[in-house]
Amino acid sequence: MDYFSSFPKEERRRVKYVVMDMSHLFYAVLKEFFPQATFIADKFHFARQVFWALENVRKTRQKTRDAKYRLYFKRSKSILRKKGSRLSPEEKEKLELMLWQDKEIKEAYFLKERFYDVLDASSKEEARQALDKWLWVAKESGLKEFKASIRAYENWKEEILNAFSTGITNGQTEGFNNKIKVIKRVSYGYRNFENFKSRILMVFRA
């Protein structure tokens, strides 16, 4: 709040868009300082809610299996996350085995695939219709692991849909942050901030 207060009010009122994760605290602060802005839920942050739910279903169901299938389910989790249309023939065989073995994983995978109807929407209205359908199907599934994502999508519905009318995301910024973390990790940290800063600037200029 101190940082945002350092900018003149008339300057803050000219901010058109705010892209953010789904934090009610951040929203409350940002809404106060940028009252004219359109708020957008970042696509990465709202999409991962579904993948988290799918992963929680996998972990829960995995525990009910014997050692052989438990290890198989664990090693095949990347196949569940991958978009169905991008699976190789071998991956499709492994997927079919998992879905045949467990009804709840099958339902969770189906919900994940249906959510691509939202992510691939070409307009706000198309996204709205797809999201409404997805919410209905998710509620009907009765999977408790999806309750958090259902609640998040209902609470942040307009901000999510704004992502489709503007096409704005924090993707580039998130990419910068990830690269900076990699720089820090491969260097085993920096004791001198100026050296760290110089390294970051050198990498990004390249």
**Would you kindly state where each structural domain of the chain is located, as residue ranges?**
2-41, 43-155, 171-205
Q: Which helix (H) or strand (E) holds 38?
A: strand 38-41
Q: What is the pLDDT of residues 112-166, one digit of tens each?
A: 999 999 999 999 999 999 999 999 999 999 999 999 999 999 999 999 999 999 9
**Structure pTM?**
0.84
DSSP annotation of 18: E
Q: pLDDT class for 206, splitting at 50, 70, 90?
A: low
Give the residue-averaged pLDDT of 56-71: 85
* Cα–Cα distance for residue pair 157/153, rounded to 1 Å: 5
Give the residue-averaged pLDDT of 91-111: 92
